[in-house]
Amino acid sequence: MEWLKRWAGGIFATVLFVAMVLWLMDEQQPAAMVEIPTKVGLSVTVVEVIPGNAQIKISTTGITRARWLTEVTASVSGRVLDVADSATPGSLVKKGAVLASLQDTFYQAELGAAQARVSAAELNLAELLKRQYVAQQNNQAKSAFGRLEPHVKAAQANRNAVRAALASAKQQLEDTQIRAPFDAVVIADSIHPGQWVNAGDRLFQMAASDFLDIKVQLSEQNWQRLNSGKQQVSGTNPSSSTPSPTPKAITIVTPDGQRWPASIRYISPVMDTVTRQRSLMLQVANPFQRAEPLLAEQQVNVLFAGETRKFVVTGPASALTEDGKVWSVVDQSLRLEPIELLDEQPESVLFRYRDQPEHKRLLVRFPLSSFLEGQSVATTTF
């Protein structure tokens, strides 16, 4: 039986040896089949941008303002006889047009009395001059009083005074006719026939009809985009360093979609104390001539069309970094490049590369904060 035990032990040892060999082969086999990965670059999405010519455009908002907003008041007192049909709010009136008439009976009487006083003063002066002439011819007067000099001087002063009173009476009579001070649009009225008005009462509110003003404020960035920095503000010293924006066209767009051409009236010489922006006053000619006029005191969109620039590219808005730069791919490596931002819209940006702007680029569409200058990347064209 001893030999049987040895035979069984040998078989067990053999089986155990074979099992261990198979286990070792099973552990080593996957290791031998694992492929060591090679290092690959970061994958980025790029879009090819090609420089070209583009016109600079800037969009902002402004507030329309009535020009020469004026209160037309009564210069004299009286009862209102008539109000012109053309003096209703919204009507356009020419300079000098009669808006209303006041009763003028009292002023007609004052004018007649003033004319009578002038005639009497002139007659009195003429008599004194004649007496003075006679006295001088007879050599009877030795003193100034005898020559009637103070008498003549007083008569002349009285004549001048009554002449001035006559001019005042004429003016008061003319003021019974309420006239438009300039070409205007009637904004409001507070007068009706039969009403008694006193001097100083407000009768109409009017504004100039030839132009409407629009106040616009531009940030320093938009100011630099709009002007070339080569021209000077009109009417200023040529040596001044303050550049004037030179847009080729300015368009006002109202909330209902109407478009009005505009021009620059003047540029404020100081910064706005609150917003620290530059202020421009634009003007629109004949704003009340259309069936739907341009109204005052409303917010409008203002579109500036500036100069045409060379080597301008258009890219997605997502390509801008937080500090206003872009990433390009050159020879499969990342490069951070400074740019001159010309226009920014929700979906796109218009800019020029500061270095070699004439070259086309592969622009990274979605830059990451973890990008490194010179980092190797693999590109996917969008």
For the chain, domains (ranges, CATH) are 45-54+309-381 (2.40.420), 58-66+209-308 (2.40.30.170), 68-98+181-208 (2.40.50.100), 104-175 (1.10.287)
Average pLDDT (200-227) is 90
Separation CA 300–CA 259 (nearest Å): 10
Separation CA 216–CA 224 (nearest Å): 15
pLDDT of 43 reads 92
Token pair for residue 163? 């002449």
| Residues 6+ away with beta carbon under 8 Å from 206 | 69, 70, 72, 93, 180, 181, 184, 185, 186, 187
For residue 100, with 0-12 CB atoms within 10 Å meaning exposed, 13-18 middle and 19 or more buried, which class applies? Answer: buried
Is it the case that residue 2 has pLDDT exceeding 70?
A: no
pLDDT of 252 reads 96
φ, ψ for residue 114, nearest 5 deg: -65, -40
Is it the case that residue 244 has pLDDT exceeding 70?
A: no
φ, ψ for residue 139, nearest 5 deg: 55, 35
pLDDT of 284 reads 96
pLDDT of 364 reads 95
pLDDT of 102 reads 96
> Worst-scoring range by mean pLDDT, 23-27, 82-86, 281-285, 375-379?
23-27
Is it the case that residue 109 has pLDDT exceeding 90?
A: yes
pLDDT of 222 reads 83
Separation CA 53–CA 227 (nearest Å): 17
- If one compares 40 and 278, the residue with the highest pLDDT of the two is 278
Beta-bridge partner residues of 344: 349
Q: How confident is the model at residue 335 (pLDDT cuts 50, 70, 90)?
A: very high
Separation CA 230–CA 136 (nearest Å): 77
The tens digit of pLDDT for each residue in 35-64 reads: 444 445 689 999 999 999 988 888 899 999
Q: What is the dihedral of CA 341, 343, 344, 348, to 10 degrees?
A: -100
Q: How confident is the model at residue 250 (pLDDT cuts 50, 70, 90)?
A: very high
Across the chain, mean pLDDT equals 85
Separation CA 336–CA 309 (nearest Å): 23
Check: CB of residue 191 under 8 Å from CB of residue 197.
yes
**What stretch of H or E contains 61?**
strand 52-66
Is it the case that residue 33 has pLDDT exceeding 50?
A: no
